[in-house]
Structure 1
Amino acid sequence: MTQPSLERARSITRPTREEMLNRAPASQQFWTQNKGLLADAWKEWEDTDLKPILDSSLFDPKLRATVEQAWDDPSKEIAVKDLWEEVFPGVYEAQFFDPTQLSVLRDYLERAASANIPLRPPYGISLNRGGAMLDSRSEGYLAAPQFQRFYRNLMDAYMRPISRLLFPDIVGYDTQTFGFSIQWQADADTSLRAHTDASSVTLNLNLNLPGEVFSGSGVRFFDRETRKVAELNFAPGKALIHHGSVPHESMPITKGERSNLVLWLYGDHGQVPRFGGHQAEVDAKQRWSVPTTPNDGFAPF
């Protein structure tokens, strides 16, 4: 009798976390050899019992209404743009998720983290116990079908057109998607030093629930031209969006936990727009469209 995929995935000998983070050859071989098994296991896991439903009700009502309106009539896209406030040069903030619904997404992700199905942690975040890769281009990603439908809708219906509205130069450099989750903890991963992202646009989403208090862990941004520096903190369900080329760092968390999704857009094979480069003329209808370019399989890490 064939052992169910979920049972096999849970019992399989997996690489150590250090081997995963160091990208040891044995780790890469593990993910390649077991890709199909893990995908089947996530489907079985999702079918075993009732899981929280991930749908458009998770998005902030104002954002959801204006985005849906823009998809119906792109000429009304200004209502979406008006929801985003520039809080630092080239950095915008808005309410992205409904704080009253965040517990649904958090519950789903916490169940997935405790499912005992191998998940690959984000490289470079060495002690992250709650982090996972989210996009199908990444080995060991969260392949649960419902989550993937939610993720694809978030990227295609929300992140890409919003990015095109705020950063016109990224059009054409936004065909590919990438994402991972992070859980900052005072006794584990506490910070991430100053860096830029290998993305055209980065969307950072705070998944903390109302009442989940933490200290520190702001995001510090640096303006290359003015040398201005600012540390930003964002509330439950809030989003920060910026060019990947904007230098930033996550400051140390000193108390509690902070949960985030970090999502990227970039062009085929990792292409990103050149700073100060030519901006293509794109009309509203083009902004509110989904590229037909297939997933090229390229992952920055």
Structure 2
Amino acid sequence: MLSTRFHVCQCYFTSNLFIKKYNQHITYINKEQFLLDYTEILKSKGCIDPTAVIPELETEILRRKKFHQDSWERRMKIAKEYKPLNPHIFTLQKGYLDPKFVELVKYASDPNATYEDLVKEIRCYQERIYTFPVFTKEFCNLLVNEIINFEESPLPKGRPNTMNRYGVSLGELGFDKFLTELRNVYITPLTRILYPDWGGASLDSNKAFIVKYEEDKDTDLDSHFDNAEITLNVPLNDNYLDGELYFGPMRTEESSRVTGIGHQMGIGLLHLGQQIHGALPISEGVRYNLILWMRSSQVRNQLCPMCDKKPTLVPVENGFGDGFTITEADVCSVT
């Protein structure tokens, strides 16, 4: 029998490290390379001594090297010890989904469905940015309350990434089955039509997390692109002010266009991961967004979206890694 094992690209341990204080993504191979490549850039942004940020970078690299094993250990501990506030929401039910979304998916699942007819039913921004209802407000409230309950627990938290320090990994919290069903049953029928050239019909893994914005903590999100082929972003509450999203061009394009898009509770925003985007600061309240990065190994096995090279694969023992795959013989199977 054949089995599929997920991997990360070697560049995960060296590239796209983010220095939040100076709003700068960097590659770190060693101290000499870093100072040669980034001293002038960082000094232009007010960094007096670039060597002072090296311990921060080396700590982040060590975290990344241990991340997938640490994440799995957190997941096991949470599964054993966490007492959910609303246990039923960990299983996807159609009643959690907006009826308009269910109808949209039903149409997209028809083999005769066309792009032209589908986009008549959703709102389009710029090029290939779409919004449509996803979750009911009742479900959004339940999920936010669950996140708050988990945040208040003493259990370990795996933060989404270095750009957002106060979110929650939904995989670690136990939503894997929920998210896989959401991707396979409900999102893929849409993406196969909207993004056929970006693996929309072959999404086979995901990473999902809650990002949290709050005064005196993370209030915004700097310009970036996602380590995903396709991203779904769903706001989960509405008791905050400002903080709209903005979108620029694809990261390989030269363009000055920017499109701002406001949030609406339960309304999903679907976009290509490689499109530059960010979030403006909130001015009041707390905001929660569900982010679902969806990946197609069929696409990313050919070219890593983070280093723009054929990926150099490093296997992970558990989970989806960063969505890269190798199919190999299962030596444990009976032949």
- Same fold (TM > 0.5): yes
- Which residue pairs with 2:242 in the alignment? 216
CA contact (8 A) 2:85 2:149 kept: no
AA matched with 1:160: T
Paired residue for 2:101? 63
- Matched residues in 1 for 2:293 and 2:120: separation? 22
How far apart are residue 175 of structure 1 and its match? 2.4
CA–CA distance in 2 between the matches of 1:246 and 1:66? Answer: 24
Task: Answer whether contact 1:21 1:123 (CA < 8 A) is retained.
Answer: no
Higher relative contact order structure (alpha carbons within 8 Å, sequence separation ≥ 6): 2
Alignment of 1:35-54 (within 5 A): 35=72, 38-39=75-76, 41-46=78-83, 51-54=87-90
Q: Work out the CA distance in 2 between the residues paired with 1:299 and 1:167.
A: 18
Residues of 2 paired with 1:35 and 1:19: CA distance?
24
Aligned AA (2:79): W
Change (3 A) 1:270 1:264: farther
Moved beyond 6 Å, runs of 4+: 18-21
CA RMSD of aligned residues (A): 3.5
1:206 aligned partner: 235
Matches of 1:121 and 1:197, distance apart in 2: 16
Counterpart of 1:262 in 2: which secondary structure?
strand
Q: Once structures 1 and 2 are overlaid, which stretch shifts more, 193-202 or 23-32? A: 23-32
Q: Which residue of 2 aligns with 1:250?
A: 279
More strand by share: 2
1:163-193 Cα deviation digits (max 9, x unpaired): 2221111226632212221011122101121
- The percent identity for this pair of structures is 23
What is the distance in 1 between the residues matched to 2:139 and 2:288? Answer: 15
Q: Is the 8 A contact 2:105 2:187 kept in 1?
A: no
Q: Taking structure 1 as reference, are residues 62 and 268 closer, same or farther at Cα in structure 2, changes over 3 Å only?
A: same
Q: Whose Rg is larger?
A: 2
Offset of residue 85 of structure 1? 1.2
Structural mapping, 1:27-106, within 5 Å? 32=69, 35=72, 38-39=75-76, 41-46=78-83, 51-54=87-90, 55-68=93-106, 71=109, 73-75=110-112, 81-106=119-144
Tell me if structure 1 keeps the 8 A contact 2:98–2:133.
yes
Q: Does 1:271 align with 2:300?
A: yes
Distance in 2 (CA, whole Å) between partners of 1:273 and 1:215 is 42
Q: Which of 281, 288, 291 in structure 2 is aligned with 1:259?
A: 288
Deviation at 1:225, TM superposition (A): 6.2
Q: 1:104 to 1:85 in 2, by over 3 A?
A: same
**1:131-280 mapped onto 2 (5 Å cutoff):** 131-135=167-171, 141-142=172-173, 144=174, 147-171=175-199, 174-209=203-238, 212=239, 214-223=240-249, 224=253, 227-268=256-297, 271=300
Cα deviation for residue 217 of structure 1 reads 0.9
Q: List alignment gaps of at least 5 residues for structure 2.
A: 1-54, 304-317, 325-335
| Larger displacement relative to structure 2 (264-273 or 158-167) | 264-273
Q: Hey, what's the Cα distance between the residues in 1 that align with 2:278 and 2:269?
A: 13
SS of equivalent to 1:255: strand
> 1:297 corresponds to which residue?
321
8 Å contact from structure 2 (residues 132, 268) kept in 1: yes
Amino acid paired to 2:144: R
Residues 46-71 of structure 1 show CA distances to partners (whole Å, capped at 9, x for unaligned) of 5x776353422111111123425655
